[in-house]
Amino acid sequence: MRFLSGLLLLFLPLLLRGQGGIGSWQDHLSYSSSYYVTGGGDRVYSSAGASVLVVDLNSGGVSSISRVSGLNESLIGGIGWCEQEQTLIIVYRNTGIDLVRKGVITNIPDIKNKYIPGLKEIYGVTVNGGRALLSASFGIVVLDIAGRYVADTWRPGPDGETNEVYGTSLLGDRIYAVTAKGVFSAQSDRTGLSYFGNWERLAGLQSPGSKYNKIAASGGALFINKPANPAGTDSLFRVVPGQPAVFILERPSGSVRSVDATDYGVSVSLSSSVLMLSGTGAVVREITSYGWATVNPVKSIAYKGKMWIADSSTGLISTSDYSKYNNYTLPGPYTNNVADIHFAGKTSLITGGTVDNAWGNVYRPFQLFTNSGNSWNSIILYEPADRDAMRVVADPLDNEHVFVSSWGNGLYEFKDGSLINNFNQYNSPLASIIPGENYSRICGLAFDESGNLWMTQSGVPGILKALLKEGTWVSAALTLNVPVAGDMTIDENGFIWVLLPRGHGLLIYDPAGTPGNISDDRYTRLQVEDAEGNVMNNLFSIASDIEGNIWVGTDRGPAVYYNPSKAFSSDLKASRIKIPRNDGSGLADYLLGTETVTSIAVDGADRKWFGTLSSGAYLLSKDGKEQLYHFNTSNSPLLSDNIVKASINGLTGDVWFGTSEGIVSFRGDATTGKSDYSGMYVFPNPVREDFEGVVTITGLIENSTVKITDISGNLVWETTSSGGQATWDLRNYRSARVTSGVYLVFCSNEDGSIAEVTKMLIIR
C-alpha cells in the first residue's frame, strides 16, 4: 500500500498538469451542430452556435474559439474569411462583430450600439478584397477589415425605403444583392452606393420585384433562389446578366438553405441533401447520406480539394471522394440545452429539457448528458412521449444509479448509463393530467437520508410522491389546489420544502421519519413573507446551506429561513439581508432586491452562488452580506446573463453555470470538506519558475488551519481553508515572493485533534 501511495504522489503533478488553476474558466459546449462554414489559409472554420470549431488542414487537429478564448459574444450568426488581411470575421445575432487575426480579437460594436428603427439583423458575409459586405435587414454594411471600422452602408432598392438584403455576390466588376424587393446590382467600386438610385434592378427574372434570398456566382452566371410562401415552392434560376433567367430547380418551400460557389459550379444545400450543379446548371451529384447519418445541411463549400458541409444535426462534415465522410468535433454535450446540473462523484449530469413561462411543454426530445473529465455521453430519446427532461439526481449510495424527471412521461431510471425503468401513469401512481395520454409531469427530485426518492408532480391530486428504497411507492397525504409543484429540498429535520411556482408560495411536508406510513404526516403551506410584511410568492429556486438554513430565490432577491425547525409555527417569517449603502444616508437595500434569483448553490465554505434571470451570477459570503464576485457577459466568459442553473462540484470547487446559451465553468477556491487528511495534496508541485498562479492545497477537513513554513520551521504564511481547500499566492507575510526551496504545509482541524503535513518544492 505504501508503494502504491508513493506512485500516486510521484505522478500526481503529471495528472494535474492540465487542471485549470483557481479563477480559470472552461466551456462545455456542443459541437454536434454546424450552422456556417468558411475556409481560410490552412484552416476551415465552422460555427457551432456558441463557438467556432477550427480544423487545421495540415495536422488534422481540431480546436475551438469561444467566450473563454476571448470572443465577445456567444450567439454566432455567420462567419467569413478575409484572405487579404488573414482575418476571420465573426458576426453575432445581435449584430456585434469580432475580427480574429493571428490570435488577436478586435470587437466592432458599432452596428449593435447604433439605433436602427425596425428589424436589425445580419444575414450573411461576403468578402471583397479588404472589405466585408454584411447583408442586413437595413441594407449592406461595408466593413473595412484592415482599419477595423464600418466604412459605409449601402442601400440597394427601388426607393429610399428600408429594404432587406439577404445576400450578395460578385460577378465581374459588379456586386449583386438579393433583397425583399428584387435583385439589384451596381459597379463594385462605384462611390455613392448609399443612395438607392445608384443601384439597378436585375432584369430577366420572373416577378423582378419579388423577394429573392440566395445568390452565388459561377461560370459567368448568377444562381438565384426565389423563396415561396409556405404553401408554395422555392425556385432556383440561372441568370446570365442581360439574358432571360433559366429555371433550374423547384423544391418545397424552405428547402433551399444556401447556394454557394464552388470550383465547378455551385452547391445547393437543401433540407435533406446537398445538390452540386455545374456552371451551366446541370446536376453533377447529390449527397443524400453520409453512410452513417442522414443529411441535414445548412451550408456547403468546396475548399482545398474537399467538400465541406455545415450540418445542423451532425456538425462539420468533409469528403474528398463522396464515398467516405469525415466528421469533425470536440468533446461536449449533444446540444447546448440546460435544465439541471447535478454532480455525482466525479461525474456531472445535465438535463436538456425545459418548460415555457406558463409551465407548458416545449417538447424537446429527452436529453441527458454525462461528463467525466473530457469524456461526454449523450442520451437522446426521440419517441414522442420521451420529452422535456427536467431534473436529475444520483443515488447517494451508487453514482451510476440515476433518476431523471420529465415533463410528460414520468420518471426515468438509469443504471450504468442504460435506461432500466420508466415510471409513468401505466405502471406507478404517477398520474397524467390527461388520462390515456402522456402528461405525467414530474419536476423536483430529492433523496432523503434513508435513500428514498421524493418527487413533485403537477396537475393531479397528490403533488408529492416517493419511490422508497425497497421499490414501493407512497403518495403524500395532502391535497392542494395549485397548478404547479416545482423544485424541492430536504432539510436536516427531514422536512421537505417544495416550491409552488406562479405565486403560490411554499409547501413544507413532514413525513415524521416514517415515509411508508402517512398517518402521522403533517404539512403546511406558507406565503414567503418577511418581518416587514412584504410577500414574495413568485419563487424560482431553493437550497439548504451547510448550517441547515433554507434559502429561497424570488423575483425580489433571496429570502432565508434561519429556523427551519419551526416550519410548522404559524408565525414563521423569512429574513431578507440588507446591505448598507455606506453613502452617509444610513439607508440599506435588500440583497439583490431587484433581481430574479433563478438558481442557488452553496459551496464548501457555505458561501452562496446566486444565478439570476438577467444579471449573471453572484458569489456572496457565508452570511450573504459581502459580495465576492459578480460575473456577467461584460466581465467574464459567461455565455449569457440568464443563468438557468448554477451547480458546484464539491470535489474540485468548479462552479458550473448552465445558461440559456450553454455551459461554462469557473474554478472556485472552495471544495467540500473531508473527514480526514488522507486525500490531501498540493498542486502544482513542484512549482516551476514560469508559474504565475496560486498554489492550491486541497483534500482538507472543513475550515482547516493551514500553515506554511520553510524547511527550518520558520512560519511563512497562514490561512484558513475555504471548505476543503486553501490557496497560496507564493508570497510571505511581507508580500514578497518566496525563494526556491522545500516548504512544509501543516494542516489541522478546528480543535487541533487531527493534523497532517506534506511537502512542496518551489523552483525560482
pLDDT in tens, 413-440: 999 999 999 999 999 999 999 988 999 9
Is residue 682, in this structure, part of any structural domain at all? yes
pLDDT, mean of residues 519-541: 93
**Strand 557-561, strand 453-458: pairing:** unpaired
Radius of gyration of the chain (CA): 30
pLDDT, mean of residues 276-284: 95
User: What type of residue sits at position 115?
Assistant: Y
Confidence at 478, pLDDT banded by 50, 70, 90: confident
**pLDDT number for residue 1:** 24
Q: Whole-angstrom Cα distance, residue 67 to residue 641?
A: 13
**pLDDT number for residue 12:** 33
**pLDDT number for residue 418:** 97
Q: What is the pLDDT of residues 625-653, one digit of tens each?
A: 999 999 999 999 999 999 999 999 999 99
**pLDDT number for residue 20:** 72
**pLDDT number for residue 230:** 75
Is residue 155, in this structure, part of any structural domain at all? no
Q: Whole-angstrom Cα distance, residue 591 to residue 552?
A: 13
Is residue 680, in this structure, part of any structural domain at all? yes
Q: What is the pLDDT of residues 244-269, one digit of tens each?
A: 999 999 999 889 999 999 988 999 99
Is residue 526, in this structure, part of any structural domain at all? no
Is residue 690, in this structure, part of any structural domain at all? yes
Element (H, E) at 8: helix 2-15
Q: Whole-angstrom Cα distance, residue 123 to residue 135?
A: 5
Q: Where are the alpha helices (DSSP H) in 165-271?
A: none
Q: Whole-angstrom Cα distance, residue 38 to residue 80?
A: 6
Q: What is the pLDDT of residues 173-206, one digit of tens each?
A: 999 999 999 999 999 989 999 999 999 999 889 8
**pLDDT number for residue 19:** 54
Number of domains the chain is built from: 1
**CA dihedral in degrees (388, 392, 395, 401; nearest 10)?**
50
Question: Where on the phi/psi map is residue 695: left (φ > 0), alpha (ψ -120 to 50), or beta?
Answer: beta
Is the pLDDT score of 678 beyond 80? yes
Distance separating the N- and C-terminal Cα atoms of the chain: 34
Closest CA to 600 of 642, 530, 541: 541
pLDDT, mean of residues 603-611: 97
Q: Whole-angstrom Cα distance, residue 239 to residue 280?
A: 10
Cell of 693: 498562479
Percent pLDDT > 70 in the chain is 98
Element (H, E) at 3: helix 2-15
**pLDDT number for residue 714:** 95
Closest CA to 390 of 609, 658, 613: 658
Cell of 122: 445580419
Closest CA to 128 of 182, 193, 74, 202: 193
Is the pLDDT score of 547 beyond 50? yes
**pLDDT number for residue 584:** 86
Is the pLDDT score of 458 beyond 70? yes
Q: Whole-angstrom Cα distance, residue 553 to residue 595?
A: 9
Cell of 349: 449530469
Is residue 685, in this structure, part of any structural domain at all? yes
- Computed over every residue of the chain, the mean pLDDT equals 94
Q: How far is CA 377 from the centre of its chain?
A: 16
Q: Whole-angstrom Cα distance, residue 550 to residue 406?
A: 25
Is residue 737, in this structure, part of any structural domain at all? yes
Q: CA separation (Å) from 37 to 298, 379, 658, 694? A: 9, 27, 27, 40
Cell of 240: 446570365
Is the pLDDT score of 8 beyond 60? no
Confidence at 2, pLDDT banded by 50, 70, 90: very low
540-562: buried (b, 16+ CB within 10 Å) or exposed (e) per residue?
A: bbbbbbbeebbbbbbbbbbbbbe
In what side-by-side order are the strands of the sheet with 695-698?
681-683, 695-698, 725-728
Neighbouring C-alpha atoms within 13 Å toward the C-beta of 648: 25
**pLDDT number for residue 3:** 27
Q: Whole-angstrom Cα distance, residue 422 to residue 437?
A: 15
Element (H, E) at 617: strand 617-620
pLDDT, mean of residues 226-236: 88
For residue 196, what are the contacts with CB-CB under 8 A and spacing of at least 6?
A: 155, 156, 157, 158, 159, 160, 163
Is the pLDDT score of 292 beyond 60? yes
In what side-by-side order are the strands of the sheet with 347-351?
340-344, 347-351, 366-372, 375-381
Element (H, E) at 47: strand 43-47
**pLDDT number for residue 90:** 98
Return phi, psi of residue 34, to 5°: -130, 135
Is residue 644, in this structure, part of any structural domain at all? no
Is the pLDDT score of 9 beyond 70? no
> Which residues span the domain enclosing 706?
2-10+673-762
Q: Whole-angstrom Cα distance, residue 327 to residue 336?
A: 19
pTM above 0.85, yes or no: yes
Q: What is the pLDDT of residues 134-155, one digit of tens each?
A: 999 999 999 999 999 999 999 9
46-55: buried (b, 16+ CB within 10 Å) or exposed (e) per residue?
A: bbbbbbbbbb
Domain harbouring 677, CATH code: 2.60.40.3110
Q: Whole-angstrom Cα distance, residue 336 to residue 626?
A: 32
Helix (H, G, I), strand (E, B) or coil at 581: coil
Asked if 188 contacts 165 with a C-beta cutoff of 8 angstroms, the reply is no
> How open is the CA angle 569-573-578, to the nearest 5 degrees?
160
Confidence at 14, pLDDT banded by 50, 70, 90: very low
